[in-house]
Amino acid sequence: MHRSQEERSRNLDFLNAEGIIAKILQNSKGRDLGLRNFFKKSAILSFFRELIVYHHSSLEFRAKLLAAMIVAGGGLRDCERDLLDKISKEIYPDNLDRAEILYHTTIEYVEKVMEDNGLDLDELILDIDKELKETPRFIKKIDIKLLERFLGCSLNEEEKITRERIIDFLKDEIKEYEGKEER
């Protein structure tokens, strides 16, 4: 599938805007302003994503799925980071800009949950459920095989069980919403 010139332009504009925003949110010594400004940064990036990224809600949904699997394992370690990079590029093989946006959006959700910034794993799962109820066609965005790859990053049985429960929940959601995705 080839991207339209407009879509390429909007994705590049977003990546440029994200870089500019990151610089704005740094203090004079070049350090990040810290967690107290996380909401501000997240809100600004979300705003630009909504304006510039084609089908941003679909991308955001996928980011939430990936973030849930990462958070269920205790956070973003090297294994999860590498796997997220690979999966993002597999989801969008012909659009590396969009893959990069998915990667960074997922990390934003993970950081928000891990830093206890108004979102936890349960709320993230409930949000996924709510989005599926509102937009049943999103079940097509759930790739169980991709998500199961995170099981290999589990350091202990508890992490693995938590990830398996999320996968079981998503399988149940797929069964529930199959045939309803045309809405």
pLDDT tens digits, 145-154: 999 999 999 9
* CB neighbour list of residue 69: distance below 8 Å, 6 or more residues apart: 147, 150, 163, 166
Q: Residue 169: its pLDDT value, please?
A: 95
83-124 tens-digit pLDDT: 999 999 999 999 888 888 899 899 989 998 888 777 789 999
Mean pLDDT of 35-42: 43
* Cβ–Cβ under 8 Å, residues 91 and 141: no
| Rounded-to-integer distance, Cα 18 and Cα 22, Å | 6
Is 41 part of any domain? yes
Q: How many domains does the chain have?
A: 1
Closest CA to 101 of 57, 69, 136: 57
Handedness of CA 139, 162, 122, 32 (dihedral sign): negative
Give backbone dihedrals phi and psi of 26, rounded to 5 degrees, phi first.
-100, 150
Which pLDDT score is estimated for 76?
92
**Containing structural domain, residue 40:** 5-177
Q: Is residue 51 part of a domain?
A: yes
Whether 81 maps to a domain, the answer reads yes
